[in-house]
Amino acid sequence: MGLPCKAIPEVAWEQDTTKWGNVWVNTGGLGGNRKSDSASLQSLIDNPNLTTICIPSGKGYTINGDIYVRGNISRIVGTGGVINGTGRIIITKDITQPVIRLERVWGLQFVNQSDKTVVIESTIGSTNITSTGTGDLFIIDVTPQDVIIDNAQERVWAWQFNAEGSQFSGASKTNLLVTNVRTMRIVGWKDEGNGNSMDLVSGALEVLGFMNYP
């Protein structure tokens, strides 16, 4: 099919440590010991002086309210910190940075609504991804349970894609549900289960390297 192969966008690491926000510090060391750490994480994102949010390793956080990524944040990075709960990370249209990276965090549920470039990298656990945005989306080294793409203008690139989904499309389980997409290219895809590997309704999808583990 010859879909374009595009380089993964880089985001320069913030060198000014005063522009980093640490979720563990912001909760006063109470992360995981309260009903929800949603307000603490949201307050860091909405701080206009910060560009980077860090979720430290070995800590657990409960997010029961939706978190809205907006404003000046260009990177949310974890070093193995676990997020659980019923909340979602919603990447909104109100991002001022041209590229935002979300990486190395366990258990996030992502909803992408942005018209900017979004990079989701190195996340495992019960990760779900739903994207209705118009910007380019990069999914790298991710183990998602549900992946839903639904925008005819969106272009998606995925590497080391390990979809093991439970999204229902009709009566069958589907690991990747693409209702609308401009183009989607997957380089290295492994999935599991006896359901549908993909359900492509509209758009162009190219897969280079695929293994099903039933």
Q: What is the pLDDT of residues 78-113, one digit of tens each?
A: 887 778 788 899 999 999 999 999 998 877 789 999
Token pair for 43: 């307050």
What's the confidence (pLDDT) of residue 182?
93
86 and 25 housed in the same domain: yes
Q: Could you list the residue range(s) of the whole structural domain that residue 184 is in?
A: 139-214
Whether residue 4 is contained in a domain is answered as no
| pLDDT tens digit sequence for 119-133 | 999 887 667 899 999
Distances (CA, A) of 30 to 33, 78, 79, 80, 163: 5, 17, 18, 17, 33
131 & 50 share domain? yes
Of residues 58 and 171, more confidently modeled = 58
pLDDT band at 169 (very low <50, low <70, confident <90, very high): very low
Compute the average pLDDT of residues 183-189: 93
Same domain, 129 and 146: no
Instruction: Tell me: do 143 and 130 sit in the same domain.
Output: no
Tell whether 130 and 157 lie within a shared domain: no
Check residue 165 and give its pLDDT: 59
Residue 38, in any domain of the structure? yes
Q: Domain boundary residue among 85, 110, 135? A: 135
As for how many domains the chain has, the answer is 2
Query: 48, exposed or middle or buried, with CB in 10 Å at 0-12, 13-18, 19+?
Result: exposed
The pLDDT value recorded for residue 103 is 92
Tell me: do 37 and 100 sit in the same domain: yes
pLDDT level of residue 171 (50, 70, 90 thresholds)? very low
Both 24 and 130 in one domain: the answer is yes
Q: Which residues have C-beta within 8 Å of that of residue 145, sequence separation ≥ 6?
A: 126, 127, 128, 163, 164, 165, 166
Q: Does the reported pTM lie above 0.95? A: no
Tens digit of pLDDT for each residue in 35-81?
567 888 899 999 999 999 998 887 778 888 899 999 999 999 988 77
Pull the structure tokens for residue 125.
């656990």
pLDDT of residue 98: 95
Tally of helices (H runs) and strands (E runs) in the chain: 2, 15
